[in-house]
Amino acid sequence: KAGVTQTPRYLIKTRGQQVTLSCSPISGHRSVSWYQQTPGQGLQFLFEYFSETQRNKGNFPGRFSGRQFSNSRSEMNVSTLELGDSALYLCASSLLASGFSSTDTQYFGPGTRLTVL
Amino acid sequence: GESVGLHLPTLSVQEGDNSIINCAYSNSASDYFIWYKQESGKGPQFIIDIRSNMDKRQGQRVTVLLNKTVKHLSLQIAATQPGDSAVYFCAEISGGYQKVTFGIGTKLQVIP
């Protein structure tokens, strides 16, 4: 079974631009979560989608948005990029659970490395 | 490969020795805790979890200890192998399993 895939793997943008990242969950998984990982802050939760609806949201500005399609694939968009948005963006999928569950493990993709110049 | 964190605390251990990685968490009401392993260039991988009503849980070569009194979590890896080299970080979950806070992580280097 294929794992979580994310595209592109690397991206370079300039300040003020916008970017869209894509995540394809494991087949059959309906929950997709997005995270930002930086050396200083570690891993931080952005939002979670289930059945095309955002179920949970972390503490990020409105420039960060996402959506989920009927096939469970998800996209994340960041508008008006800032230097501080440079990070590894990770997506994780799980079968059903909202939040975290010991019976429904989240599987992470390899991430998209975004560099903002 | 990519570096997950440039200024992480580092633990160097000899192959075959036991490793202990520590994590201090912040919320005494956290319900659930997870340890992750992240290898260079890859996403985090679930290792082991523990609920707040337990103080110890064992997996294959790994043990997690939870001390709620001092809000401390540890991951013990027995007979550490070169393949264990990675960044390890903990996650504390609260708010009815909805809110997650991740630790910064510890880089484990295994010396062959």
Give the chain B residue whose CA is nearest to the CA of A9: B41
Cβ neighbours of B13 (radius 10 Å): 18
pLDDT value at position B2? 39
Q: Using CB atoms within 10 A of its CB, is residue A30 exposed (0-12), middle (13-18) or buried (19+)?
A: middle
Q: Which of A102, A104, A105, A115 to mutate to test the interface with B (most CBs of B within 10 A)?
A: A102
CB A32 within 8 Å of CB A93: yes
d(CA B95, CA A65): 23
Question: What is the arithmetic mean of pLDDT over B2-23?
Answer: 82
Q: Any CB–CB contact under 8 A between A101 and chain B?
A: yes
Encode pLDDT of A11-46 as tens digits.
999 999 999 999 999 999 999 999 999 988 889 999
pLDDT value at position B4? 42
Question: What is the arithmetic mean of pLDDT over A86-100?
Answer: 86
Which residues of chain B form beta strands (DSSP E)? 10-14, 19-24, 32-38, 45-51, 56-58, 62-67, 72-77, 86-94, 99-102, 106-111
Lowest-confidence segment of A20-29, B3-12, B25-34 by average pLDDT: B3-12
Determine, for residues B100 and A42 on separate chains, whether the beta-carbon distance falls below 8 Å: no
Determine, for residues B46 and A105 on separate chains, whether the beta-carbon distance falls below 8 Å: yes
Closest CA of chain A from B43, distance in Å:
4
Determine, for residues B7 and A39 on separate chains, whether the beta-carbon distance falls below 8 Å: yes
The tokens 């790994």 sit on which residue? B62
- The mean pLDDT of chain B is 90
pLDDT at residue A100 tops 90 = no
pLDDT value at position A105? 83
Q: Any CB–CB contact under 8 A between B88 and chain A?
A: no
Determine, for residues B41 and A110 on separate chains, whether the beta-carbon distance falls below 8 Å: yes
Closest CA of chain B from A80, distance in Å:
25
pLDDT value at position A117? 97
